[in-house]
Amino acid sequence: MKAIRISVFAAGAAALAAAAPAPPPFGAELLRDRLWDDGRAEYNVYRAEEVRDGTVRKGEVVHIVVKEPFNPKLRVKADAPSGTEVLKMNQVIDFPAGVYAFHQMHSSFWDRVTGNLLKFSLSSNDSCGNSFKLGWLDGRLLRLTYHTYWDGEGDGRLDQRLPADAVFYDELPFKLRTLRRAPAPAQYAISLYPSVVGSRLGRTEARPATIVATPSGSGRVVEVRSDAGVDRFTFDSEFPFTLLSWSRSDGGSLVLRKAQRLDYWNHGKPGDEKLRE
């Protein structure tokens, strides 16, 4: 019986290697789930290793996912319930580098009905200066505004037409959780837009990449393969498919330390730091 299972897996792997990648079957079921209507946020704390200036730095990253009413005209949080709701994910990145320090936050906003990314923003401050980037998406058109402290890219705007299969690197930790489950290994083709996390403008064009999803006994492993290397994500097999670990192509990594649902905006008092421990 054991030999049969090995043969079936080998045959499946061979078929996967031979098959042309299909578009990824992302769904909106996770975004629409009533889990997000309980008045709390998903607040997950990760042990992190971040690579800066070619050196691995140890620190902490917090992922916060929460429902918000959205003003589609101004593209900001609405003061009152509106016809549009989004799930927002904040990636809060903090780590020291000798006497230097990095504090960064990336936010993604997905329409709860369609699952489409509507907006992203990035604030980056380090011991040299502040940078900010804002991306608005209108269908396949990206309007990217940037303000950095680097010569030649202080203030500017780029309007870009995106491929139909574009996925943004910085939305992957949540976007891959919406990938529909399959009982066997599956392979998908995307155009991957590079990360905007950083003080510089950086590269701004999408490049071909492949998503390879493999079921496992303890969860689900998803690899994203591109010319930059391989990012390997491990997700819990149980709903809501929490990100357990992320090994990045640049040498950085995240490992889940604590997962909870929390109305974190009500816990800013001295002593509430224990909720992160």
What is the number of H-type helices and E-type strands within the chain? Answer: 3, 16
Grade residue 12 by pLDDT with cuts at 50, 70 and 90.
very low
Give pLDDT tens digits for 214-246. Answer: 987 667 999 999 999 999 999 999 999 999 999
CA 240 from chain centre, in angstroms, equals 15
| Cβ–Cβ under 8 Å, residues 59 and 227 | no
Give the mean pLDDT of 171-188: 93
User: What does the block give as tokens for 204?
Assistant: 């701004």
Q: What is the pLDDT of residue 19?
A: 54
- Phi, psi for residue 44 in degrees, rounded to 5: -115, 130
Q: What is the pLDDT of residue 169?
A: 97
pTM summary value: 0.89
DSSP structure class, residue 228: T
DSSP structure class, residue 22: B
Share of the chain above pLDDT 70, in %: 92
**Dmax of the chain from CA atoms?**
65
Q: What is the pLDDT of residue 22?
A: 81
Give pLDDT tens digits for 105-159. Answer: 999 999 999 999 999 999 999 999 999 999 999 989 999 999 999 999 999 999 9
SS3 state at 251: coil
Any idea which residue has 């990938």 for tokens? 179
Express the helix, strand and coil content of the chain in percent, nearest 5 each: 15, 50, 30
